[in-house]
Chain A
Amino acid sequence: DIQMTQSPSSLSASVGDRVIITCRASQSISGYLNWYQQKPGKAPNLLIYAASTLQSGVPSRFSGSGSGADFTLTISSLQPEDFATYFCQQTYNTPRTFGQGTKVEIK
């Protein structure tokens, strides 16, 4: 199975900060990497797919990059509604594994 490792596991940031979350796969997954946002008590919401394509309706302050085994999710200017947990997922093969999550908290 492909292991997905996110870092950091949690971070504290202020509104307006630039936030970068990384996701590393245990082997190359080409560009088959998705990012999801989950708020407490809610279902996950797709933000980025195929490593860098913004899902329709998602604000442009979110961006993704990377290929092979190393990927990043960047929030260019953190907004109050962005405090949540973020998960990466590889869909290169089965099982379609998720990272352990990165919780973004208010500083």
Chain B
Amino acid sequence: EVQLVESGGGLVQPGGSLRLSCAASGFTLSDYWMSWVRQAPGKGLEWVASINGDGSQKDYVDSVKGRFTISRDNAKNSLYLQMDSLRVGDTAIYYCSRGGVIGGRLANWGQGTLVTVSS
């Protein structure tokens, strides 16, 4: 059974940093693109970033380029999102998802981790 478990969320001040982690199990991580999708409170879904199986290709939404970094450690079955220079507008639940290649689909999702950016 595919399982994705996010961690690392919390309260941070504007300008601060957080590192989200996603522990994957039930499949071979290196075989899949992986993605982060976020959802601000009471709002819709926003794709944030995707990374290919070996980490050589990364895509980001414009609003996080230069501030967020997606990465992975296939040996540790883990996906990461390093978030720097956080803004109030980054407040959201962040979901880890299996998939993300152009033309593909987000077939499995974690339960999400809440990031709150506030002074």
Contacts and interface: CB of A to CB of B under 8 A. Distances in A.
B109 interface: yes
Interface string B46-60: 110010000000010
A93 to B, nearest CB: 6
B32 to A, nearest CB: 14
Given A44-B109, A46-B107, A93 B45 contact: no
A93 B102 contact: yes
B67 interface: no
B106 to A, nearest CB: 6
B110 A89 contact: no
A94 interface: yes
B95 A44 contact: yes
Given A36-B106, A45-B109, A94 B59 contact: yes
A98 B6 CA distance: 22
Interface residues of B, number: 24
A42 B109 CA distance: 10
Contacts of A71: none
Given A49-B105, A96-B100, A98-B44, 13 more contacts: A36-B106, A42-B111, A44-B37, A46-B107, A87-B45, A91-B103, A91-B104, A94-B59, A95-B47, A96-B50, A96-B102, A98-B47, A101-B44
Interface of B: 35, 37, 44-47, 50, 59, 61-62, 95, 100-112
Interface of A: 1, 32, 34, 36, 38, 42-46, 49-50, 55, 87, 89, 91-101
Nearest 8 CB-CB pairings of A with B: A49-B105, A43-B109, A96-B47, A98-B45, A95-B61, A94-B59, A101-B44, A34-B105
